[in-house]
Amino acid sequence: MNHRYTKVTVQVPASTANIGPGFDAIGLAIDLWNQATFELNEEGHHVQADGENAEEVPKDESNYILQSFLDLYRYLGEEQPQGVRLRCINRVPFASGMGSSTAALLSGLLGANALLGSPLDKFDLLNLATSMEGHPDNVSPALFGGLAMGAIKDDGSVLLHQIPISIMPILIVLPDVALLTEESRAILPEFIPRKDAIFNHSRTPFLIEALRSGNLSLLAEATRDRLHQPYRLPLIPGSREALVRAREAGALAVTLSGAGPGLFVFPGENRQGIAKAMIAAFADAGISARAFHLASSNQGASVSPLM
Ligand code: HSE
């Protein structure tokens, strides 16, 4: 067992899942970082939050980061700490499709693991976090960075493949629509026609190849999807029109980011113009929207013990 620290800072990136056809399997890390510092104390739990959605962050034990932190103690059969002082700097908007709940889950697990002397390695944490989330497509890139794909094996462990890619500009346009992942998953049909399965799996290799090799001309076709977007876009007023206007304004590819409501764009040139066109499409539907001009990240989560 490694040295046990009493204070640790964890950084976890945002991530976008699916990227069109790779539903529940493929994701990309985004260079936008949440930070959480955990310090053990004797005086009970205390949560402080700054940044995006800071006022909405629960300050008690219902805090999701704190819950996953304490879950790891339970999972490992370790005595619960008397108190944890948690300070979060939140940059990934909640319920956006940018992996905010994955970032919270991993922050807690990585923080607790470090304070317990790192009994689990990153692959153990990948398996555990995937079993908690049910799919590996945000967890894999958030932990390992880059383009990451995961398949859940029969024993529940994750077969992971991670590819560092050339840093890509990314635009996320986030409409002000309340859409939780549970709701966005519940709408999906249990069974899909064979032609739709073929539509997706025939594009998935092209998606990976386009991002691996930088052959961006493949992206428009390679990011098309029939497994989830047709069912989810109607939940997001203005989203279909925003996709159309993004393409008209020159976007290389545009898809739903994860379960939404954010839309994910590989903008190519003209990213300001694309953002403006998409925001205007949402405005026409009576919905305000924000643009996040970001980039992909080949770095995954990191942990810095503090003495
Ligand atoms: N693959 C997941 C979905 C990502 O689309 O529902 C969001 O958690």
For residue range 168-203, list pLDDT tens digits in order. Answer: 999 999 999 999 989 999 999 999 999 999 999 999
**Cα(39) to centroid of ligand 1, in Å?**
32
**Cα(112) to centroid of ligand 1, in Å?**
25
Q: Has residue 1 got a pLDDT over 80? A: no
The reported pLDDT for the residue numbered 45 is 94
Q: pLDDT class for 2, splitting at 50, 70, 90?
A: low
Tens digits of residue pLDDT in 244-258: 999 999 999 999 999
Q: Which domains does the chain have, with CATH numbers?
A: 7-165+297-306 (3.30.230.10), 169-295 (3.30.70.890)
**Cα(97) to centroid of ligand 1, in Å?**
8
CA distances from 250 to 172, 214, 216, 268, 277 (A): 15, 18, 13, 7, 10
The reported pLDDT for the residue numbered 43 is 87
Mean pLDDT for the chain? Answer: 96
Residue with tokens 């903008």, as numbered in its chain: 267
Q: pLDDT class for 236, splitting at 50, 70, 90?
A: very high
Enumerate residues lining ligand 1, CB below 6 A. 17-18, 23-24, 135, 137-138, 181, 185, 228, 258-259
CA 116 from chain center: how many Å? 26
Alpha-carbon distance of 18 to 209, in angstroms, equals 15
**Cα(47) to centroid of ligand 1, in Å?**
28
Q: Whose CA is nearest to atom 6 of ligand 1?
A: 259
Alpha-carbon distance of 70 to 61, in angstroms, equals 9
